[in-house]
Structure 1
Amino acid sequence: MLALKDVVAERKLEGKQDEAGVMHSSSTLKGVSRYALGAQTLNTLHANQVENLESTFKDISPDLARLVIEYGFSDIFSRSALDSKHREMATIAALTAMGTATPQLKFHIKAALHIGVSQIEIREIMILMSVYCGFPAAINGTLALKGVINESDVK
């Protein structure tokens, strides 16, 4: 954010006017709980994922599942400034760069394919990641993509 602030300041000195930052709402649905909005958002990416999260963590940390749903998918993923395709593409790039989140990367690759991001676009993300986070991360990301493509539930 500080880098963005510096770039905007430089552009202003050049006479370019950028739209000022505004608060984006995570919900345009009045009266909908954060949990309900997050669950709705998450289930549009992958059916039954809310139930999967809840069952995975119910015995050890049910609060973690709730936080992922409320914060990750209500407060963040449902924001209006990026469409779901661009948000998934950015998420795939970040998870690839991390190199430590293969299950989450596979989930988001599946979600991206489900909402219309193409295999070609995801392959290009992996190639781009070779520049910014190295070939090992790009190779691991590509192998995650390959694994998802080879699964039977992915069209």
Structure 2
Amino acid sequence: MLSTLGLAASATEADSRREKGIETLERITGATGNSVVNSLSDISPELGDWIVDFAYGDVFSRSGVALCTRELATISALTALGNAQPQLKVHIEGALNVGCKPEEIVEIIIQMAVYAGFPSALNGISAAREVFTKRGITLSSASPR
């Protein structure tokens, strides 16, 4: 009996993780995140499950930091990596979706020139430009100093 209760609790916990993960993924990425997860179903559905359950159900959905801050941190990391352009664009979109300002995104990417190098920052700015153009966002040419 005890093991049956443990399995039921575990299944309920997994369902809750999945629900939080899907909700958070959709809030940040809209349909894009689900498309990425679904595109993995034929080759690695487990990877898709981990993205939803762990990344979005366990980490992104935590209450300790606002989603905008989490997205800016993610943009920093992906810019610094320098080899994750598709994911960077998704998270620039996500940052805008959760209320980050375009100027904040640009400032975070500029700061990465100090820690990750100019090539990474230039690639990040290029990704931001693509997302902003797609959304019809224009920035004033005068940046704060």
Q: What range is the shorter-chain TM-score in?
A: 0.7 to 0.9
Aligned to 1:62: 45
The Cα of 1:115 is off from its aligned counterpart by 1.2
Q: Is the 8 A contact 1:126 1:141 kept in 2?
A: yes
Matched, 1:124 2:114: no
Normalising to structure 1: TM-score of the pair?
Answer: 0.75
Q: Structure 1 pair 36/122, CA: closer, same or farther in 2 (3 Å)?
A: same
Measure, in 2, the Cα distance between the counterparts of 1:144 and 1:31: 35
Q: Structure 1 pair 67/146, CA: closer, same or farther in 2 (3 Å)?
A: same
Q: Is the 8 A contact 1:46 1:110 kept in 2?
A: yes
- After TM superposition, the structure 1 stretch with the greater mean CA deviation from structure 2, 47-56 or 117-126, is 47-56
Deviations 1:110-142 (A, max 9, x none): 000111111111110111001111100000000
Q: Structure 1 pair 32/60, CA: closer, same or farther in 2 (3 Å)?
A: closer
Measure, in 1, the Cα distance between the counterparts of 2:124 and 2:33: 24
Structure 1 runs of 4+ aligned residues shifted over 6 Å read: none
Q: Which of the pair is proportionally richer in helix?
A: 2
Q: Structure 1 pair 54/131, CA: closer, same or farther in 2 (3 Å)?
A: closer
User: Which of 69, 88, 92 pairs up with 1:105?
Assistant: 88
Measure, in 2, the Cα distance between the counterparts of 1:127 and 1:50: 26
Measure, in 2, the Cα distance between the counterparts of 1:154 and 1:35: 33
Alignment: residue pair count: 126
Q: Structure 1 pair 64/113, CA: closer, same or farther in 2 (3 Å)?
A: same
User: Which of 51, 54, 67 pairs up with 1:71?
Assistant: 54
Aligned pairs (5 A) from 1:5-154: 33-152=16-135
Q: Structure 1 pair 71/43, CA: closer, same or farther in 2 (3 Å)?
A: same
**Is there any run of 5+ residues in structure 1 with no aligned partner, and where?**
1-29
Deviations 1:13-49 (A, max 9, x none): xxxxxxxxxxxxxxxxx89521111000000012223
RMSD: 2.0
Identity across the alignment (%): 40
The Cα of 1:51 is off from its aligned counterpart by 3.0
Measure, in 2, the Cα distance between the counterparts of 1:137 and 1:46: 23
